Structure formats: C-alpha cells, structure tokens
C-alpha cells in the first residue's frame, strides 16, 4: 500500500552492465531509514535489446515490491566514447520508463550534486561516498559502488524534497 505522505525514495544509478538501486524512507529532519538496495547485472553474452528489457523488468519488480513514492536517477554524462554514452542513455531510459509506468515522480541529479549533498564535497571519491552512506544509513553493509551510489541518489532527493502540504 502506498504511503500517503511522500517519504519513500528510490535512487537509481543506471548502467547497462550494472544498475544500482536503493530505497530509503525519510522520517523527518535528518532521520533516514534503509529499506533495501541491490545491483541489477546483465550479461555481455545476452543480446542488447534483451539486456535493456531485463533492466526494465527488474526495476519494475523493485518498484512493485518496495513501492517508492518518488524516485531519482543519476544524470547521464557524455564521455569520449559515443557508443558508451548512447548505451548508458538507453539503460537510463529503460529505468525511466519502468518508473514512469507506475506514475512515480522522477528527478535527475548530476553526480557532483549527489556527492556534495552526501559528503559535503562535489569531488568526493567512491570510498568517501560509501563511508557517508554508512553514516546516514548505519544498517547498510554494501561496498559495491553502484549500489552505494543509488542510495546516495535516494538520500540526495530525500534531503532536497519539499513536502507540498498534502
């Protein structure tokens, strides 16, 4: 059953090989509760369209199980390899379609904004992000950067979210 107040947030760190996801609840002030997280892995041996479908299906499953009220996804960046950028954008699109299918509000956050919100520095490295994830969500044990990044994205959204007086 959906929460009446928007307080369950999902973060997504998109990628074709590894897509991190994390779900948290914001309990007011600076209180956050870890719900679940993981990484969706696709195989290089699987045909490309099927890999995109796997991402879509797995994110649909996560949404159905954990019922987030809102979601955030890392903004894609253009890198030197155009093909890699295109594949990243398509993986992100698969995630966006899964979220929008459920009519869940979705926002993009650039990686620097997420890092600054979580660690205080937009240039923080992966170990600093993981350390701060464990500070904000002590029950988290992950060392996997895609999963930690997704939780950081969820925390970023939850900390910037302004309730609209529902």
The answer to the question of whether 146 is labelled as a binding residue is yes
74 part of the active site: yes
Q: Please provide the distance, in angstroms rounded to a whole number, between the alpha carbons at the two ends of the chain.
A: 17
Which residue is catalytic, options 69, 74, 147, 149? 74
146 part of the active site: yes
Query: Which token pair is 39?
Result: 């990484």
- What DSSP string runs through 115-131? HHHHHS-TT--HHHHHH
Question: What pairs with residue 39 in β-bridges?
Answer: 20
149 part of the active site: no
Reference 100, options 10, 24, 27, 162; nearest CA is 10
Which residue is catalytic, options 50, 61, 139, 146? 146
Pair 39, 58: CB distance under 8 Å: no
- Separation in Å, CA 20 to CA 42, 96, 166: 12, 14, 30
Residues identified as active-site:
13, 74, 146
Show binding-site residues. 13, 74, 146
Annotated binding site for Mg(2+): 13, 74, 146
């Amino acid at each position: 059953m959906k929460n009446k107040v928007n307080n369950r947030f999902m973060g997504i760190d998109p990628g074709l090989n590894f897509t991190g996801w994390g779900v948290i609840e914001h309990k007011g002030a600076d209180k956050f509760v870890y719900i679940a997280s993981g990484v969706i892995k696709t195989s290089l041996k699987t045909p490309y369209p099927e890999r995109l479908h796997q991402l879509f299906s797995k994110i649909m499953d996560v949404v159905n199980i954990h019922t987030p009220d809102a979601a955030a996804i890392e903004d894609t960046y253009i890198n030197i390899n155009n093909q890699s950028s295109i594949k990243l954008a398509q993986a992100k699109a698969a995630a966006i379609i899964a979220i929008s299918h459920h009519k869940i509000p979705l926002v993009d956050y650039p990686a620097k904004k997420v890092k600054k919100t979580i660690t205080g520095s937009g240039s923080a490295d992966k170990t600093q992000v993981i350390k701060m994830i464990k500070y904000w969500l002590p029950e988290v044990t992950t060392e996997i950067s895609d999963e930690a990044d997704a939780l950081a994205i969820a925390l970023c959204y939850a900390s910037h979210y302004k309730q609209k007086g529902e």
